[in-house]
Structures are given as C-alpha cells and as structure tokens.
Amino acid sequence: MEYLKFEEQVNALLKKMSLREKVGQLNQQVGPCNEEDMKRLKDAVRKGEIGSIIMAHSATAGNDPQQSINMKMYEELQRVAVEESPNRIPLIYGRDVIHGHHTVYPIPLAMSASFDSGLIQQCYRCVAKEATADGIHWTFTPMLDLCRDPRWGRIIEGPGEDPLVGSKLSEAVVKGLQGEDISKEDSLVACAKHFIGYGASEGGRDYHRTEISDYSLYNYYLPAFRSAVNAGVATVMSSFNDINGQPVTSGYHYLTEILREQLGFQGFVISDWDAVHQLIKQGVCETEAESVALAIEAGVDMDMADGHYINHLEESVHSGAVPMDVVDQAVKRVLRIKFTAGLFEHPYSNKETLDKKEHLKIARQMAVKSMVLLKNDNQILPLKKSQKIALVGPFVDERRALLGSWTLDGCAEETPTLLETMIDKIGKDRIFLNKDLNGLYDNTVETAAQADVIVLALGESEKVTGEARSLSDITLSKDQIELIKTAKFTGKKVIGVMFCGRPIAMEGIAEYLDAILYAWHSGSATANAVCDILFGDAVPSAKTPITFPRRTGHIPLYYNVTSSGHYVNGYYNENPQYSYNDSLSSPYYPFGYGLSYTTFLYTDLQCKNKTLSIEEIKKGKKYTVAVTIRNTGDYDGEEIVQLYIHDKVASVMRPLRELKAYEKVFLAQNEEKQVVFELGKDELGFYNSQGEYIIEKGEFEIYVGSNCLTENKCSIFII
C-alpha cells in the first residue's frame, strides 16, 4: 500500500507545527476512566500534546477487566482535537481487538488450524466493521510471533510454529482489517506485532530474553512480517525482547535497517506498553531522557503509555541528543497514516448498522473449520442424535473461557454453553448430567450408567493463557485427568472435547479417550460448532498448526528442525527413545495432523520436470508437482493437502522438512482430484545470515500428504 500519496499535505502541516505539537503526535496516552481523567486529557489534547489514545487501562488488557468503550467521552476528546487543538489533527484511537469485538472468533492459533486464509480474511472484515462502529480506528493485531514453546501464554495470539502458516495468516488479517481501501469508515488500521522475536522468550517465560541467530531470524521469524508489509500493513509494534544483547526497542538494526530498508515498511512503529521506560531496566541506559533518544533514533515513532516522549523529547532535541530531522520523520510517518486512514475526513465513529447475525454465522463457520479431530477410534464420531449422552466435566456449563483471552468486548453472558447447545441439538431428555455438573466428584459412574456414551467437557481457563500467563506444565489439571480415568473405567466409550488455548501434553490423557475433538477457545460460537461436529452436521477438516508433545519436558519440539549428526531425529521416528531414557521424544500429534469423518487416499505423486538450472529458476521457471487424492470414506469432506521440501545438502544445515505449499480441497464421496503445486524461486531458496536470499544446487526431496510425517515423496534437482 502506498503511504506517500499525502506527502504534500503532510509537509504543509509539519511546517505549521511547533516542536511541542510534533512530540504530541508521537505520544499515546491511556484512555479515560472518569471525569478527572477527561479533564486532564482534554487539556493535553487542546494543546496538541497527544496524538493517540489507547482504549485500555492496563498493559495486560487481555486478562484484566476493562471498561466498555464510553463513546461520549471519546467523541468529545476527538471534538477537542479537530476543533480546538492548534492544527486540528485528529486523534487515532487504538484498542486490542485481537480476534473479535462483540462477536468473538476463534483465537488466532485456532484460526491457523483451519488453513483457510479466505475465511480468516472474512472474519477480520467483520471485526473491522464492528470495531469501527464503536469509534476504534486502530487495532494491535495481527500478532505474528512464531513460537515453538506452548508454555508461553501468548502463543494463543499467533500462528504457531510454521513461517508459511504465519505468512498466510498475516496477509489474511491485514487485508481483512484494512479492507480494499483503508480510508473507508469501516476499515481498521492493522498493527503487525511484535517486531521481532518475542515468541522465542526463553523457557516460555513472558518478557524474558531471546536467543535468535541471524539465520533463524531471516528464515523463521521474519517471513510473517514480510508478508504483512507486502499486504500493506499500516503500523508495526516493536517487541520487548532483546536480540544479541540489544533490546529491539533500541535496535536500529532491527527497526530501521531490517524493517524499513530491507522489508520496505512505510508506516509507523509504536512501542509496546511502557517499553521505552523498560530500556532502563534492561540496562542499556540510565535515564528516561536517554531511553527516549535510544528508542526514537532506533525507529520507534510513537511511545505507548509511559509518557517519556512527551516528557523528555523536546529537551533532547534542544540539547542536541536527538536531531530535529529524526523527530520530523517520525511525525511524518504518523501523519501519513492518519491521512491515509481517512481520519481527517471522518474522525468520528462509523455509524454503519451491522448485521451481527451474519457475523455470528461466520464465527460459527470459522469455529467449525478450526477444531481438530485428533482421535476417533472405531469411528465413534459422529454421534447419532438418538443416542443417550452422559455430559460431564468442568466445561459443561462454561461460557467465559470459550471466548478465550484478549476478549475485551465480547459478552460472556450471550455465549452459549455446551449444555445449552446440546439441548438445542438433541433435546434435554437424552442428556444425563452429574449432580455437581462439573463431574469432579463421585457421580460420574452413576451418570454414565444411564447413557450410551460419555462426552467429557475438559480444558483450561482463559486465565492461564494470554499475556503474563505462562505455564510450567501444559497438561490438564489432576482433577480432570482423574475424571478421564474414571470415565474410561466405566466401560463406556469416552469422547474428550478440549477447550484449550494452547496445545496440551497428551501423554496419560489421550490413551484413555476413544475420541478427541480439540475445540480450542473458539469464540462466541464455540459450543454450537462443537455440537455441529459431534453430531455430524459438520465434518472436521482442521490440522494442527503446532506440535502436540507427549510431555511438557519435551518442549521445545517442532517439525522444521535440522538434522542431528547422530541417528536421533526422534520427531521423524529415528530412534526416538535415544533422546530421553524415560520417554519417547516423538510428538503425540505432529504438525499438520488432523482427522476427518471420511478418509483420503493419496496416489500417483509426480514431479513432472525433475531438473532445472539455477539460471532457469531465477528467470521464473518452476517445477510442477502433482498428486491424486481420492475420498474413500462415507462423507463428503475437505482435506488440507500439504507439500514439504527437504534440501538434502546445502551450505548450511536445512530443516528436515519445511512446509512450502498447501491447498484445501473439497471432495465428495468417491470423488478424485489431481492437486498441482508449482515450486520455484520463492519456495526453494533460503536466507543466509546476512539476509541475502540464495538458491543452491542439489537434490530436494518433496513430500506431499496429510501431515509433516507423510512418507509420500519424490525428488527434484537443481543444477
């Protein structure tokens, strides 16, 4: 997206602005809670000392209760800005609308499991319409932190462990939020975060240090941000973490040389909450004024919440610590986005009347396509609507957790429970409940005796996911594990429905369940979607966007790992017992895994042109890979066909497998289709440690199948 077309207006406005007002445009303040806050903020806005307001009252807004948006207050602050401030520059209001506003969609990690970019984009188009109707201009999403450690609470906000999945999610969210024209009143300014490497927080401990090589930075952590920039993302948020001992907030190499010069980003960068001040705690400066100079010269254009820019930037310019040109460039970037987003034309809320029933319908579709069927022994699912169901577990009557973390404006009271939706689906006479409802006491055997099958509603609260909500152990609670065993020992078939934000360690759990539906925290329509799948009104198609380990102690465990020099690549079943003496190191469920109610047969994998030269590839020639897939089961269904590559010999170690393409294919019963992929320069090269994209000669193994462990392969050669 071109953000330079308003340069004449930006330059004209800049010439009229005092230094104080320029600094004000770089200052984001916390929204008002009361009349005292309003008076203070109105005075500052009137003087041109505030450029943006974040509509939240704490840094961990995803878990802390937040006030609903007081439209009267925000409209009044905007009126002061456009009518009474020195140059009538509108405020830009930001809020964490991460995976839904009033209508809540699945957490982003769950959406990634759908492998359905078109539907994700459609969801975020709905998100933008609802948010702009409440006066929100800007949202701090998509979160693009690739993460290999599900102990980290914020893993729920991102795409999982794969850079291609992250890139596809990135593009879909940005296009959905910003729409075809970002200046339209129902378009929401997107913010790609956290640049960069926050998801590699050591030990899954939030806010901690990271160790990222340049090779990993370019090949794993940057692709999703590159995709966001290419999709026209208007803003980027810098991350708290350090890389090579340099906090990214003060990292000129990362925010300017890589983000702006290499990726071509044209929008503005905002710090994370209080991150400028945290430079002092991180030990790279002593004073607030020094932190300001480090951050703005690194490329942080707007300061979130801590007030350091407005308190110290003027004096830093006057003292010569910060050149005036650095300030001017930051202000121009902010103004460009305000002009491009149409804030000068329509500064107030979008008054569009919304069809929220349609939004809820789309949320239900997204939830269905996000839920992963992990196990289905003897095809126990789908259930017959005539069967008698023992419905047991702590999530039978749960509402709030289904929405997930980072749900500021979703209404838990309006979110149906699993019990309610199951009654709607099959009637209450076929449902048997424990007296205590959650099933954690002694009624399970008695309840199960009355039923044909047991459905256990299990999971984790939204309170153990999100920001500053990491776990050292990602298994279910002991009470729930005991409940699973009790249910199994009744002799009935047991179905586990798991309402979780992160993947959990499955050893000691999955063995006791006959079927597992991983329902995630899938938003407003979670329970309806579960019942659609359980009773066969929908056929599951989702795949795991991240590895499910056997035990927490196996973390980090991810599919795109490089080869060991010994025969211990346990992920790929190469002597998995050698990694640990006390457990198998292989995943319980690998990346890209998921079952359907039907079955698919892959045949006739072909690499149609097996040899090309580097010169031909650079000129645009591609390899053609085709596979035939047939629906051999009893249901119509969708299959996510996945293509992985393995660069066998290279100048540096390359992953054993890398996802390079996928296609979602619908097949009726007995239908057969050929799926064709093309592999060229973009798929077969990699970045070296200097950030240069290179292609090398050699043999590439091509794997095509239903998950990363597929053995269907052929080879191509670059000469």
Please provide residue 42's backbone torsions phi and psi, each rounded to the nearest 5 degrees. -65, -40
How far is Cα 169 from Cα 223, in angstroms, rounded to an integer? 11
Contact (Cβ atoms closer than 8 angstroms) between residue 471 and residue 153: yes
Contact (Cβ atoms closer than 8 angstroms) between residue 253 and residue 243: no
Reading the block at residue 612, the tokens are 């090309």
Q: Is 587 exposed, middle or buried (0-12, 13-18, 19+ CB in 10 A)?
A: buried
For residue 92, what are the CA distances in angstroms to 25, 71, 82, 268, 295? 10, 14, 11, 13, 21
Length of the chain: 719
Contact (Cβ atoms closer than 8 angstroms) between residue 274 and residue 247: no
Please provide residue 65's backbone torsions phi and psi, each rounded to the nearest 5 degrees. -60, 135
The count of other CB atoms within 10 Å of the CB of residue 326 is 17
How far is Cα 529 from Cα 370, in angstroms, rounded to an integer? 9
Reading the block at residue 136, the tokens are 């929100």
Contact (Cβ atoms closer than 8 angstroms) between residue 595 and residue 515: no
* 405: nearest Cα among 471, 462, 468: 462
How far is Cα 63 from Cα 466, in angstroms, rounded to an integer? 7
The string of DSSP codes covering 661-673 is EEEEEEE-TT-EE
Residues with active-site annotation: 272
* 80: nearest Cα among 350, 336, 347: 347
Question: Which SS3 state, helix, strand or coil, does residue 293 take?
Answer: helix
Phi-psi label, residue 132: left if phi above 0, alpha if psi -120 to 50, beta otherwise: alpha
For residue 604, what are the CA distances in angstroms to 290, 499, 561, 598? 64, 38, 28, 20
Bridge partner list, 413: none
Question: Which SS3 state, helix, strand or coil, does residue 256 take?
Answer: helix
How far is Cα 460 from Cα 659, in angstroms, rounded to an integer? 30
How far is Cα 26 from Cα 330, in angstroms, rounded to an integer? 7
SS3 content of the chain, % helix, strand, coil (to 5): 35, 20, 45
Contact (Cβ atoms closer than 8 angstroms) between residue 24 and residue 310: yes
Bridge partner list, 138: 94, 189
* 142: nearest Cα among 178, 170, 105, 100: 170
Contact (Cβ atoms closer than 8 angstroms) between residue 188 and residue 131: yes
Q: Which residues of 385-415 are buried (b: 16+ CB within 10 A; e: fewer)?
A: eeeebbbbbbbbebbbbbbbbbbbbbeeeeb
* 647: nearest Cα among 596, 589, 695: 695
Bridge partner list, 90: none
Contact (Cβ atoms closer than 8 angstroms) between residue 689 and residue 214: yes
Under 8 Å CB-to-CB from 140, ≥6 apart: which residues?
Answer: 94, 95, 96, 98, 191, 193, 237
